[in-house]
Amino acid sequence: MLRPEDNKLITEVGPGTPMGELFRRFWLPVVASEDMEDPDGAPVRLRILGEDLVAFRDTEGKVGVLSAYCPHRRANLFYARNEEGGLRCIYHGWKFDVTGRCLHIPSEPARSNFKDKVRAPGYPTQERGGLVWAYMGPPDKQPEFPEYEWAQVPANQRVISASLVECNWLQTLEGDIDTAHVSFLHRTLNPSTTLKWARFVENFTDYVTKDRSPSLTVKSTDYGFVYGGRRVGGEDDYYWRFSHWLVPSTSETPGSAERPGRIVVPIDDRNSMSFSFVWHPHRALSAEEAIANGRNNGQPLHPWELADGYVIDTRRSPLNRDNDFKIDRHVQRTKRFSGILGTPPEEDRAMTETMEPVLDRSKEHLGTSDIAIIAMRRRLIKMARDLADGIEPALAKQAWAFRTRGYDVVSRHAEFEDVLAEHMSELTPGRVTPAASG
C-alpha cells in the first residue's frame, strides 16, 4: 500500500506538481496523426497534463499544439479559422502560427509592432510513428526524440490506436505491467480455444491456464525495468513472458508476431489517453493482423465532456461504464472468464475504470504477484522527488535507451538471469545488457 501523501504525489499531474513536472521532461504523444485533418482543417481540442490545448495542421502540413485560449481576451481557439499558415481567432482576428508566434493583429494600426511582442503559449511538436508528440517542459531541457523502434519502421509495419481511458493514468499503467491477471481476466473457459488476440507462443493458453501463479522477477534498467513472469509447463519446460516499463508511462508486452505496447498520457488527474501500438520489426503486417489489432476499433473521433465541463476531442469505446462494459453473465459462465465480449484492453478498462477515478492505494493489500507494480511506484516517487530537488532524470537525455521489445519464449532455463542473457538481443536490440540504475 501507499501512504496517502505518496499516492497524491504519484497520481497528480497538473502544472507544478512533482509528477506533472516529471512527465514534462519527456516527449509525449498527444493525438494520432490520422485524427488531424488535412492542412487548414479543423483544430482538435485536447487536455494534456491538466492543460487545455488545441492542435492544428497548417497550410504546409506542420502541426502546432497551442494553449486553447487566445492571449488577447482568452477566447477558445478551437473556434478559430485555420487559414494561410496559422490559426486566426474569430473574436478579434489575431493570428498565430504553429509555434505560437503572432502573425497578424488586424485591430492594431498598420505601423504597430505590437504583434511582435505577443505569443500564444505552445509546445514543440514532432510527428513520429503515426502520432503527434509534444514536449511540454522547460525549453532548455528539451531532449532528443526517444528511439522507439516501432516509431521508426515503415507505416505498413505498425498499427496505431488512440482512445479515452476514464481513470487516473497510473492505475491504467499498473494494469499493463501486471502479468498475473492474464491467467484470469483474459482467460477463455475452453482450454482448447486460443483467443484471436493471443498470438503468442504455441500452447500459450495451456501455459497460462495450468500455472496461474507465475514467478516474477524485476530487474532495474536505465529505462525503467524489465521483468519476467515464469510459468511452469513440465519438468524442464518454462513459459517466460518478458515485459518492459519505460519511464514515465510506456509498457511493452510480449507477442510472437506483432509486438504490442502502450503509452499512457494523463489528460488530468481523473482521465487519460491510451496510445497503443502493435508492430513487426521486419515485415509488413498482414491485412488480417491489421484488422485484428483494430485501428481505433472503428471508434469515431467525437467531442467528450469531462467532469469539469471542458470538452476534448477523443475516441471512447462502445464498451464503457455507462453500459457495464456489456458484460454477459451467460458468456461468463460458459465461454469467457470475464463475461466481457470485447478486446483485452476493454477487459482491462472494466477493471481499472471501475476502481475509483483515482485509486486510494492506502487501502490495498498487495501480494507477491505485485512486485513490478511496487518497483514502478518506488522508482517514480524517487524520480519525482529528485526532480523537485533539482536532479534531472538522466533517461530523458538517453534517446537510445528506448530501444526495447516485449518477448515471450518457452525455455529450459528456470532462472531469470539465464533466460535474460540468452534472449537479450530480442529484448534490447543493439545492446548486450541493460545497465542497472538506481
Residues of the chain predicted below pLDDT 70: 191-211, 255-258, 294-298, 430-438
What is the per-residue pLDDT for 311?
97
Condensed to tens digits (0 to 9), the pLDDT of residues 233-285 reads 777 788 888 999 999 999 998 865 667 899 999 999 999 999 999 998 889 98
Strands, E, within 11-135: which ranges?
Answer: 27-32, 44-48, 51-57, 63-67, 81-83, 86-88, 95-96, 102-104, 122-123, 125-128, 131-135
What span, in angstroms and rounded, lies between the C-alpha atoms of 320 and 92?
A: 41
User: Which residues, in sequence order, are CB contacts of 187 under 8 Å at separation 6+?
Assistant: 208, 209, 336, 337, 338
pLDDT tens string 414-436? 999 999 999 998 888 865 444 44
pLDDT for 289: 80
Cα gap 198→191, rounded to integer Å? 13
Q: Which helix (H) or strand (E) holds 5?
A: helix 4-11
- Of 54, 19, 57, 55, nearest to 38 by C-alpha is 57
Q: What local confidence, expressed as pLDDT, does residue 210 receive?
A: 67
Give the model's pLDDT for residue 59.
97
> Which positions ≥6 away from 74 have C-beta within 8 Å?
none
Quote the CA–CA distance of 240 and 413 in Å, as a whole number.
Answer: 9
Nearest 5 degrees, angle CA 45-CA 49-CA 52?
30
Distance from C-alpha of 197 to C-alpha of 436, rounded to nearest angstrom: 33
Query: How many angstroms separate the most distant Cα atoms in the chain?
Result: 85
- Cα–Cα dist 120/54, whole Å: 11
Question: What phi and psi, each to the nearest 5 degrees, are found at residue 397?
Answer: -100, 5
Is the pTM higher than 0.85?
A: yes
State how far the alpha carbon of 181 is from the alpha carbons of 92, 211, 346, 398, in Å: 55, 12, 14, 32
- pLDDT at res. 197: 41
For residue 235, the model assigns a pLDDT of 74
